[in-house]
Amino acid sequence: MGVSLVALGLACWPEQQRAQPGPAALRAVFTYNALIALLLGYVGTVLQLGGPLLWPAVTLHGAVVLLLAWARLRTPPGT
């Protein structure tokens, strides 16, 4: 739940320009997926807890992070 609150806080963080909501939402979703992937990876490796869907979930969240980073890098500056 803490990861969700961090991502929500980043989405609502005040910016200088409020013309486009895209960057804040992208930053929040990126942060959420990155932190969840790290948290689930920690649970599976260090705590040695898990089930049949733990590693697919880590992989899925990691893939979303990579896709969001790729999309942001392909977006022209200022948008």
pLDDT truncated to tens, each residue of the chain (79 aa)? 688 888 888 778 777 665 565 677 888 899 999 999 999 999 999 999 999 999 999 999 999 999 999 988 887 766 5
Domain presence at residue 79: no
Q: Per the structure, how many domains does the chain have?
A: 1
Residue 22 in tokens: 């895209």
Domain presence at residue 26: yes
Handedness of CA 7, 12, 13, 18 (dihedral sign): positive
Give the structural domain span for 40: 2-12+22-74
Domain presence at residue 17: no
- Of residues 14, 18, 15, 28, the one with CA closest to residue 64: 28
Distance of alpha carbon 38 from alpha carbon 74, whole angstroms: 25
Domain presence at residue 6: yes
Check: CB of residue 6 under 8 Å from CB of residue 28.
no
With a CB cutoff of 8 Å and minimum separation 6, the contacts of 49 are 43
